[in-house]
Amino acid sequence: VSWVTSASAMKASLTLMLQGERSDDVVTFAKECMYQVLHVMVGLNSIEGKPKTMTDLQGIWKEKVFDKFTSCFHEGLACAMRVMLRIGANCPANELEQWIEWHKEYNRYGTWINSVELLLDETQPAYLDCGMDHPNIIYHSVVSAFNDEDGFEVLNQVLDSTIFESLSADKQMDREQLFHCKVARLLKRISIRLRWAMEDLTEKGVGAKEGKAEQVEEVMTRVEELSKGAADWLSQRLNTAPDKLSNRGKAMDVELLDVLADLMGPEASINLANGLLAVSSLGTQQAGLKLARQLRAQGGDMEVAFVDLPKDFLAKTVERFSGEGEELVKQLLGAQVVNKRSIVDTFDELDELMVTDTDKIAVCQVWGEIGLRCMCTDDERTREIGVGLLDSLQRRQFAQQAKLTEAAEAVLDWMQETCNHE
């Protein structure tokens, strides 16, 4: 990505995409290229030197291009924000929903709402740091562009708060529902900030813009309507097909749960994670562990709610897969385990949740013991699962500290007995 070329492309797009008008060329450019450019410019990804902040990036530049490149970010990203909002204002939601959502070449998402979310994420590297001589006000430029283009109303216009009314529990969620959930999540975050700002103005004796409070309340009502519809669908879906929430595989399932948790609020999010952990499918439980890890990272009540989860889940896993031979085969089938993937992903999540080295070693211990016992069965698929588990385990940091000698000797005894019998 060239900073000058990218900024010029954003400015040219804005020139063509006038307010209230549509430019098919700009829409095509944004659909095919915008997220990839923002991935680099806002996230500072794929850059030599791997800068973590704008300060790091500016430290790479030579003095003669410093001001020129810095202005590329200020102007380019502000123009990008305006372009995306004008597209949102002039393209129907059912068209925006169908934007390419997965770039195989780049291995990441690229929908319209993802680009808007990325631009408004103040934690992104391009918005961080810079010193007194060169203050980082790039994010302020982007937010100013958002406000100038009435971005709040554009998002409200795009949102379909009734999207779940036509989705029954026997149907998987598709990208249309995920799209509107993301729009609602962004509107919720902005609404909360607007409420804080209006409260601050009131305390200072300054009134908010006329009609703004009513607009925010109207939007929050619509967000809550979508959130309730999503929660009702999810509750019914978890009772019928908890391991297949979306039609785009596990990656979208996990993203979907993360978005819904943000929409539902703390208590409902905790209930959602616990609901996922309570089902029989290990794949769905892994999604519950991942969601719990994300929620726990927020601290406070979220952290307290899941403080005992890692050790409790590991103990239940030991009991759940404690069988040998045919009994273990049945236990794995009962958990809908047909290959190593769901077990490996689950143990990786547990490893992330564990705090101490001792607890991480315990995860490897259980991991190895299950893998070795899987090899002592007459079922070929279960033996393949065992081999796969051990192969994955050996690349984990604490694998060598697990005490698996006795379990490994049992495998050798079983193999010798089997060979003698044959």
Average pLDDT, stretch 340-361? 93
Token pair in block for residue 387: 């081999």
156-196 pLDDT per residue, tens: 999 999 999 999 988 998 889 999 999 999 999 999 988 88
Residues forming beta bridges with residue 103, ordered by sequence position = 108
270-296 pLDDT per residue, tens: 988 898 899 888 988 988 898 898 888
Q: What percent of the chain has pLDDT over 70?
A: 94
Judge whether residue 269 has pLDDT over 90.
no
85-111 pLDDT per residue, tens: 999 999 999 999 888 765 555 555 578
Q: What is the pLDDT of residue 267?
A: 87
Distance in angstroms (rounded) separating the CA atoms of residues 142 and 258 = 25
Q: What is the pLDDT of residue 234?
A: 86
Helix (H) / strand (E) containing 178:
helix 175-203
Q: Are 1 and 41 in contact (CB under 8 A)?
A: yes
SS3 labels along 29-60: HHHHHHHHHHHHHCCCCCCCCCCCCHHHHHHH
Per the listing, tokens 């979508």 go with 226
Q: What's the number of CA atoms in the CB half-sphere (13 Å) around residue 395?
A: 6
* C-alpha distances in Å from residue 152, one per residue of 16, 164, 194, 219, 393: 22, 22, 10, 9, 48
